[in-house]
């Protein structure tokens, strides 16, 4: 069981890494072709809604809501039972979301005002953002169907197919940027058409895999089906429990629209860099650990449930701490290497670097939430994560006053502090209720990770000179960044071995007592 869990982690992590690299290629093209101005601010505000929904549905919410139901369907009715449930769920959600999309397109002018009150009503920026949002809205229907299909694959241990779906979004947006932008009267609308096309392609790509697995459903609309009702009951709290950080990022864009031109774009690029390790690590561990937790809860194996959480938390700390420090220390070098071309200037790099440090400070909190929330939802406790999420959101909103002294970077810092509070509340609740009982060796493990991370941070701090970085040619920046990353990883790994961390310390425990 532990070996399969580790193998699944590698599969999901590898495919997510590939998708994330393509995402950076996409963003590099956007930065090169469009820069960071009022038009890119308009697109990133409009893109917030489909991107927010994509991250919700494909990175956890539907999975959290569906998996307990799918486990019951598998047990009680096998594949026919799963097909029947997915057919009714997909048909009902599609009908409902088509209506929501139509309403969203009509209400787009008001939504843009809500998302970016700094955009003048009926001004050029507002009109452009409305047009972009109207094109993107139907993506909601497609991405929800894809998320349902992904939940089925995850329930049967097929993790690679869902992890590859975001690749199609990135490919579609890259193709639209290269092939369509120069042919349109307003080039940046090509990005919105790329988003919509990606939704269609993702749905069509899921069909042959479902058919081959014998799980292709027949769509039905049934609002009164017991399992569908249960899904709706789980879905709303599930969406909120995993969306606190994304919701705060959405609110960041709202406040940033009131700040200097370019603030929305600077926050977007810095958030994208934090999303890179979060997508690879947080989504990977959450996706892989949830079926194990759901199965342990269904079989009433509390020991195995606690072991799975313990395994996930150790891995999050092992990779999350150095990732957080690396992003903070290499903020400007990474941004400069990836985006400092043509329209994206040195000043844009410096401004985005400030908010990147703010977001990176909360990376560990974001990752911990991804692992801790399944500890509740696998037991169909959706109320507790929602309650803690509300607390974290209110704290982040209150801390948005940091935008006064620190501008857009203060918004990023407020979001990070809210994520850390959320993670702390979730962990404390699991410990108090004894759902999770930490295994042996945690103090020594933390000491080892702390020593290795400190050594890595010291080496990177001494190595990096952002001022000199800006003056290098593109290839020189790439080479220097690769050297810094390789050096940091090498120092971290060597110190971990020196202080005594071994692979056996990271394996899932097999004993029968917690």
- Write out the E strands in 41-196: none
**Is residue 87 domain-resident?**
yes
Domain that holds residue 375: 2-506
Q: Which two tokens stand for residue 342?
A: 């043509």
Q: Is residue 140 part of a domain?
A: yes
Domain contains 511: no
Instruction: Give the pLDDT confidence score for residue 502 in this predicted structure.
Output: 79
Gap between the Cα atoms of 122 and 141, Å rounded: 28
Token pair for residue 185?
A: 């009267």
Q: Is 436 helix (H, G, I), strand (E, B) or coil?
A: coil
- C-alpha 112/C-alpha 130 separation (Å) is 6
Amino acid 493: pLDDT: 94
pLDDT at 345: 84
Residue 512 lies in a domain: no
Q: What pLDDT is attached to residue 355?
A: 94
| Rounded Cα–Cα distance for residues 274 and 248 (Å) | 14
The pLDDT value given to residue 511: 44
Burial of 503 (0-12, 13-18, 19+ CB in 10 A): exposed
Tokens, residue 66: 């569906």
Please report whether residue 100 resides in a domain: yes
Compute the distance between CA of residue 499 and CA of residue 458 in angstroms, rounded to an integer.
Answer: 17
pLDDT in the model for residue 359: 93
pLDDT for 448: 95
What is the reported pTM? 0.72
For residue 513, being part of any structural domain is answered with: no
How many angstroms separate the Cα of 311 from the Cα of each of 113, 212, 289, 380?
44, 33, 9, 21
Q: Which two tokens stand for residue 392?
A: 């974290």
Residue 49 tokens read as 């809604």
The total number of structural domains that make up the chain: 1
Q: Residue 376: inside a domain, yes or no? A: yes
pLDDT (tens place) for every residue of the chain, 514 residues total:
445 555 666 666 667 777 777 877 888 788 788 877 788 888 888 887 777 777 666 656 777 778 778 877 877 877 888 888 889 999 998 999 899 899 989 999 998 888 778 777 878 888 999 999 999 899 988 988 888 888 888 777 777 777 778 788 889 989 988 888 888 888 889 999 999 999 999 999 989 988 888 888 888 898 888 888 888 888 777 776 666 666 777 778 778 878 888 888 888 889 888 887 887 777 777 777 777 787 787 777 888 889 889 988 999 999 999 999 999 999 999 998 888 876 778 888 899 999 999 999 999 998 999 889 888 888 878 889 888 988 988 898 899 888 888 889 999 999 999 999 999 999 999 999 999 999 888 999 999 999 999 999 999 999 888 777 777 787 888 889 999 999 999 999 999 999 998 777 676 665 443 3
Is position 173 within any domain? yes
């Amino acid at each position: 069981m532990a070996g399969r869990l580790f193998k699944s982690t590698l599969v999901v992590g590898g495919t997510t890494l590939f998708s994330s690299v393509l995402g950076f290629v996409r963003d590099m093209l956007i930065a090169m072709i469009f820069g960071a101005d009022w038009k890119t601010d308009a697109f990133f505000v409009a893109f917030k809604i489909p991107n927010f929904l994509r991250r919700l549905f494909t990175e956890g919410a539907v999975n959290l809501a569906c998996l307990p139901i799918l486990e019951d369907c598998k047990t009680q009715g096998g594949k026919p039972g799963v097909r029947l449930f997915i057919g009714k769920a997909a048909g009902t959600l599609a009908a409902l979301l088509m209506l929501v999309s139509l309403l969203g397109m009509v209400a787009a002018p008001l939504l843009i005002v809500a998302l970016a009150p700094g955009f003048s009503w009926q001004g050029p920026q507002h009109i452009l953002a409305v047009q972009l949002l109207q094109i993107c809205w139907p993506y909601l229907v497609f991405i929800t169907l894809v998320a349902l299909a992904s939940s089925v694959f995850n329930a049967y241990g097929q993790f690679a197919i869902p992890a590859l779906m975001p690749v199609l979004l990135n490919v579609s947006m890259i193709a639209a940027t290269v092939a369509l932008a120069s042919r349109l009267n307003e080039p940046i609308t090509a990005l919105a058409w790329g988003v919509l096309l990606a939704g269609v392609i993702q749905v069509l790509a899921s069909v042959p895999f479902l058919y081959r697995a014998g799980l292709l459903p027949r769509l039905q609309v049934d609002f009164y089906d017991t399992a569908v009702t249960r899904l709706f009951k789980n879905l709303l709290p599930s969406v909120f429990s995993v969306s606190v950080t994304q919701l705060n990022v959405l609110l960041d864009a709202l406040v940033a629209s009131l700040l200097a031109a370019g603030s929305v774009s600077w926050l977007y690029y810095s958030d994208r860099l934090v999303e890179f390790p979060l997508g690879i690590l947080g989504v990977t561990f959450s996706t892989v650990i949830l079926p194990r937790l759901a199965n342990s809860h269904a079989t009433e194996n509390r020991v195995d449930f606690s072991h799975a959480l313990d395994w996930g938390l150790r891995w999050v700390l092992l990779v999350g701490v150095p990732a957080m420090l690396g992003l903070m220390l290499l903020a400007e070098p990474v941004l400069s290497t990836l985006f400092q071309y043509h329209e994206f200037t040195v000043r844009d790099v410096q401004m985005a670097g400030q908010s990147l440090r703010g977001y990176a400070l909360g990376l560990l909190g974001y990752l911990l939430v991804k692992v801790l929330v399944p500890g509740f939802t696998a037991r169909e406790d959706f109320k507790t994560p929602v309650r803690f999420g509300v607390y974290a959101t209110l704290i982040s909103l209150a801390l948005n006053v940091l935008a006064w002294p620190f501008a857009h970077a203060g918004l990023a810092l407020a979001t990070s502090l809210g994520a850390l509070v959320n993670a702390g509340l979730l962990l404390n609740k699991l410990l108090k209720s004894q759902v999770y009982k930490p295994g042996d060796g945690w103090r020594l493990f933390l000491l080892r990770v702390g020593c290795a991370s400190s050594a890595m941070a010291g080496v990177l701090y001494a190595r990096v000179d952002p001022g000199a970085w800006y003056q290098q040619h593109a290839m020189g920046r790439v080479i220097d960044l690769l050297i810094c990353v390789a050096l940091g990883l090498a120092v971290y790994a060597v110190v971990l071995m020196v202080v005594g961390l071994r692979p056996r310390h990271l394996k899932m425990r097999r004993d029968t007592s917690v």
